[in-house]
Structure 1
Amino acid sequence: MRITVLRSFFLLFIFAFTGLYAQETAIMVRAKAKDAKFIGSSVGGAKIYIKNAETGEILAEGLTKGSTGNTEKIMNRPRERNENLAKESTAGFLANIDIKEPVFVTVEAHAPINKKQATVISSTQLWLIPGKDITGDGVVLEVPGFVVDILSPQTHERIPQTKEVEIMANIILMCGCPVTEGGIWDANQYEVKALISSENKQVNEVEMKVGEKPSTFSAKTNLDAGLYEITVYAFDPAAGNTGVDKTNFIIN
């Protein structure tokens, strides 16, 4: 009887003692472009932060790495309940966090991290429970917008007044997915314009059209001598995606 009591006490002690130790808990985080695919290595990835929501302590951070995923599965096929969109090679960030008790966390995606003029923050909050892994698709953060890069005119470029100004911009989804005429991301459904201003006054608005090269929009205009700022924007009225880039140039 005494041995049984001692054994029970010993087991209770061991259980209580081991309960003080943290358990490794896995959480997969992915960033997915709105109306498009996952944000991964091809655009530099999304920077992921997992923070204690109460204290702000960063529990884990890293980049999503991998491919943008299967286009047919993500964009064209109906999705069944609990069906994963991602596969092993699909971009994501897997964090392994040691926790002793449930922790309420904030999960942030800064994406695409290498395009500062286009980077947005998408976030959500949830409880992490020790030993209860969140894998598969995991936590998927939607990232709206376009990446807009003005290719021409170059910053501070001097253009003769006698010469036509060529405006050119590269426009892609946040995952790097291309914009093409008649494609999955159809250039014909997007509004792309260049707003040209001088001394904070708009002097011209030019509609830009997609060319033969995927994701490249262009237009031409004539301007008087002066200092100019150009703003190129892209807008998708169906999905609500938007994107902007700016530069300055000089007409001699």
Structure 2
Amino acid sequence: MKALILITAFLFSNLMISATETKIMIRAKARDAKFIGTSLGGAHIIIRNKLNQRILAEGNTTGSTGNTDLIMKTPKIRGNSIADEQTGGFVAAVDIDEPTFVNIEVISPLNSKQAQAVVSTELWLIPGKHIVGEGIILEIPGYIIDILKPRTHQYIALSSIKDKPFQFQANIVMMCGCVIDKGGVWNSDEIEVKGILKKDGKFVKNIDMSLVSTNLFEGHHMIISPGNYELVLYAYHEKTGNTGVDKVNYVVFE
């Protein structure tokens, strides 16, 4: 019996010794923009063994959004990294004892549910062969849009808005939190922002939204009758294919 215990312990110790820590850097980068880091709450990373779906590592990206000039203005040359030591990422330490095919899933932006996208890739991890430095970069398309006015399910008296334009307002940023401004790196003049207004389920009008200050877009419409209203607000950039949507419902009563 004692011999059996010793043999089992020996085999178990050999198994433990054979597992090798393998590091992999995962980064989430907004399409046509920068990296997703601490300032936006991070992107959530999950690494799974593709064979049995067991989670090998998970966590959130932390760090800065990166160097704007390096990422957005410097021509990309093979071998040159667009990430520095401060750039947001998540370093996973995975213990494996043989080459393992993994699925890497990125959920981002973690704290903006209406804009959240899931992007994934698959690759082989080799024991002890680290993938660090710039690491694996997954691209997150889109915009984060938050409708500020009207508020969700806000009740508005028709008498309070009669004979004056009703204001719509939304905050729009890149998926990394980078700012949108007139003439800026992310130029508001290149982004189409509109609201689709419905009343009692029927189309009323397309609302043109214009930038009034950094990230802030406004539009107006004369509301002349009570009802259940819905505003679907979108942003669209033709050059990159970036899109984003937010929706709000509100009630106008007599």
Partner of 2:7: none
Q: Which stretch of structure 1 is more off in the superposition, 122-131 or 196-205? A: 196-205
Q: Whole-Å Cα distance in 2 between the matches of residues 96 and 242 of structure 1? A: 34
How far apart are residue 84 of structure 1 and its match? 1.2
CA distance in 2, matches of 1:76, 1:225: 50
Whole-angstrom CA distance in 2 between matches of 1:201 and 1:45: 38
Which position in structure 1 is the counterpart of 2:180?
179
Deviation of 1:98 (Å): 0.4
Q: Distance in 2 between matches of 1:192 and 1:205?
A: 10
Q: Normalization by structure 2: what TM-score?
A: 0.90
The equivalent of 1:227 in structure 2 is: 228
- Structure 1 CA distance for aligned equivalents of residues 103 and 22 of structure 2: 15
In the aligned structure 1, how far is the partner of 2:246 from the partner of 2:15? Answer: 55
Deviation at 1:160, TM superposition (A): 2.9
Q: Kindly report which structure 2 residues correspond to 1:112-127, keeping only aligned pairs within 5 A, or say none.
A: 112-127=109-124
Structure 2 runs not aligned, ≥5 long: 1-13
1:102 aligned partner: 99
Residue pair 1:110, 1:120 contacting (<8 A) in 2 also: yes
* Residue pair 2:200, 2:227 contacting (<8 A) in 1 also: no
SS in 2 for 1:55: coil
Does residue 1:154 correspond to 2:151, yes or no? yes
CA displacement 1:200-232 (0-9 Å, x = unmatched) = 211111110001x20100011112211111111
Report the Cα offset of residue 82 of structure 1: 1.4
Partner in structure 2 of residue 3 of structure 1: none
How far the C-alpha of 1:19 sits from its partner, in A, is 9.2
Q: Could you tell me whether the CA contact under 8 Å between 1:159 and 1:165 is conserved in 2? A: no
Paired with 1:165 and 1:249, the residues of 2 have a C-alpha distance of 12
* Alignment match of 1:93 (pick from 67, 90, 94): 90
Superposed CA deviations along residues 32-56 of structure 1, whole A, max 9, x for unmatched, are 0000000011111100000111211
Match of 2:36?
Answer: 39
Once the two structures are superposed, the pairs formed by residues 62-77 of structure 1 within 5 Å of their partners are: 62-77=59-74
Residue of structure 2 equivalent to 1:4: none
Q: What is the CA–CA distance in structure 2 between the aligned matches of 1:18 and 1:125, rounded to whole Å?
A: 26
Q: Percent identity?
A: 46
Shift of 1:185: 0.3
Residue identity matched to 1:56: Q
What are the residue-to-residue correspondences of 1:241-252 with 2, within 5 Å? 241-252=242-253
State the superposition RMSD in angstroms: 1.2
Residue aligning to 1:22: 19
In structure 1, runs of 5+ residues without a counterpart are 1-16
User: Quick one: distance in 2 between partners of 1:222 and 1:250?
Assistant: 15
Matched, 1:190 2:191: yes
* Residue 137, structure 1, aligned to residue 134, structure 2: yes
- TM superposition shift of 1:133: 0.1
CA separation of 1:19/1:40 partners in 2, compared to 1, >3 Å: closer, same or farther? Answer: closer
- Please say if residues 153 and 165 of structure 1, whose CA atoms lie closer than 8 Å, have aligned partners that are also in contact: no
Residues in 2 aligned to 1:25 and 1:61: alpha-carbon distance in whole angstroms: 14
Q: CA deviation at 1:161?
A: 2.4
